[in-house]
Structure 1
Amino acid sequence: MMDVQEMITLVKDISLEYGPTLVAAIAVWVIGVWVINLVVSGLNKVLEKGKVDPSLKPFLCSMSTIILKVMLGITVLGMLSIQMTSFVAILAAAGLAVGMALSGTLQNFAGGVMILLFKPFKVGDFIDAQGYMGTVKEIQIFNSILKTADNKTIIIPNGGLSTGSMVNFSTEDKRRVDWTIGVAYGDDLDKARAVIKQLCDNDERILKDPEVVIVVAALADSSVNFSVRAWVNAPDYWKVFWAMNENVYKTFAKEGLNIPFPQMDVHLHKEK
């Protein structure tokens, strides 16, 4: 058996051989953790100044901390002469397998990060995307939730939402309202234009600048079509659109102007 003196000698030898390396590894770990905390703290300040979505900041900081500490751990283990080649290979293979299995989920996750970072839309915006129109109720990491005008809840994966085409109706404070108003052939066009202009002037929600545009846009099969373009504040868009349709119908009837509708003439010939 090994006596006490031999054990002491063995401990001294091990300490002399591995002690400096172990102390250096511990020092690197402590300093590395301190540096990582500084980096993450700086990242957090940058995200706050950049007004990044509050739900994204904790995730980015946590992810950065994990990645940096894994890298630091691999470095420290390498200093201790622990072979990391096989471990890294296994980790890479596992990561590849998981990535392939969760490709759709990871795409949605990446899309959520992109949406929260670049903010093509925000909560409360009215958008048209992926075949759906609605108000954005919530932006999650994997999905975005819309509420339609008829109170339906639409859940759209962020992957397609971040890469597909989208119309955001809420980014500008003003919108242009367009109408096509048909007048019967033979009616007084100047009178029709004056009536339309008066209706626009009477609606206080229609802005004076830019001014209303009223032009003859087409000589259609059954009507002379006026194109009317007016600018309104975005929240008033639909109210003004519907009100003008109703006012035109009522006022044209009073003014003796006719709104045509498609007609077909049928001629009957009696055979002799």
Structure 2
Amino acid sequence: MTTTEIELYFKHIKDLILDYSPKLVVALVILFGGLWFTSFVTKTAKKLMLKQNVEITLTNFLGNIIFWTLRVMLFITVISKLGVETSSFVAILGAAGLAVGLSLQGSLSNFAGGILIILFKPFKVGDSIEVQGEHGKVEEIMIFSTKIITATNQVVYIPNGLLSNGKIKNYTQLGTRRVDLDIMTNYTSDISGLKAKLEKIASSHPLLLSNSKAEVYINHFTDTNIHFTVRVWTENVHHMQVKSDILEQTKDLVQL
């Protein structure tokens, strides 16, 4: 390579630096300013939603959407300032998104299910639910799955697609719950006396709802026993205690 060629080469590099330096500086300013702006907007949006008592799960989800939408827009803006043709880039990004979407249909179904759960709130964090054969307390609602802690302290992750399309039994949502008890006795028992005693025991429990009363009636007969049903209402948190107490107090009344 001759001296003239070397000089031309360095001159070309110098011209490129002089030509792209302003674009690079502007792009860097936009980049760092945009990074601060996206974080600021996301934090502000989350604070506003929390002040409006928006559920934390929905707040985090919407915050993530705002954050990544702004980041993608920032990235496109920065590369456009560097002289990159953004129309072709957006077309490639769209094609890649379509390919990824087709290959991840199950994940997208779970993602859509997560959105439906967050928006329509069939349950929330802390609720006791029964779904897909599992019964436990909702620990966390994520974008693709929901984390449940069972009564035996097992962690169960259920895909949101199944949750949004299946039957969900929420034991917590209404705040109160009915306790149903099956009491058996034989045909030699004093039916009227037993019924009166069951009503007295069930009605006297201190954890019953003040505006409800105990119901006692004969449910059905078998070849050897008469089955009574006892129904009382209490708060969700007292359900098992009320059930256990009434069963304990009635064990000496029945004759089998």
- TM-score > 0.5 by shorter chain: yes
Change (3 A) 1:39 1:236: closer
Pairwise CA distance, 1:132 = 0.2
* Cα distance in 1 between the residues matched to 2:174 and 2:63: 33
Pair 1:178-2:187 in alignment: no
Residue by residue over 1:193-218, the C-alpha shift from the partner in whole angstroms, topping out at 9 and shown as x without a partner, is 11111221343233442111112333
Question: 1:120 — aligned with what?
Answer: 123
Q: Is the 8 A contact 1:36 1:65 kept in 2?
A: yes
Question: 1:19 — aligned with what?
Answer: none
The number of aligned residues is 242
* Cα distance in 1 between the residues matched to 2:190 and 2:112: 60
* Cα distance in 1 between the residues matched to 2:92 and 2:46: 32
SS at match of 1:106: helix
Larger Rg: 1
RMSD: 4.2
Q: What are the within-5 Å matches in structure 2 for residues 22-41 of structure 1? A: none
Letter in 2 for 1:53: I
Tell me which moved more, 169-178 or 85-94.
85-94
* Cα distance in 1 between the residues matched to 2:172 and 2:47: 29
* Cα distance in 2 between the residues matched to 1:47 and 1:111: 22
Residue by residue over 1:60-112, the C-alpha shift from the partner in whole angstroms, topping out at 9 and shown as x without a partner, is 33432443464577689889997654333322110011112222223333433
* Cα distance in 2 between the residues matched to 1:36 and 1:146: 33
* Cα distance in 1 between the residues matched to 2:203 and 2:36: 68
* Cα distance in 2 between the residues matched to 1:61 and 1:147: 26
Pair 1:102-2:104 in alignment: yes
* Cα distance in 2 between the residues matched to 1:137 and 1:68: 30
Tell me which moved more, 60-69 or 70-79.
70-79
Give aligned-pair identity as a percent.
33
Q: Is the 8 A contact 1:217 1:225 kept in 2?
A: yes
Question: 2:222 — aligned with what?
Answer: 221
SS at match of 1:144: strand
Question: 1:166 — aligned with what?
Answer: 168
Tell me which moved more, 244-253 or 75-84.
75-84
Question: 2:142 — aligned with what?
Answer: 140
Query: Which consecutive unaligned segments of at least 5 residues does structure 2 have?
Result: 5-14, 20-29
Letter in 1 for 2:222: D
Q: Is the 8 A contact 2:219 2:227 kept in 1?
A: yes
Pairwise CA distance, 1:191 = 0.8
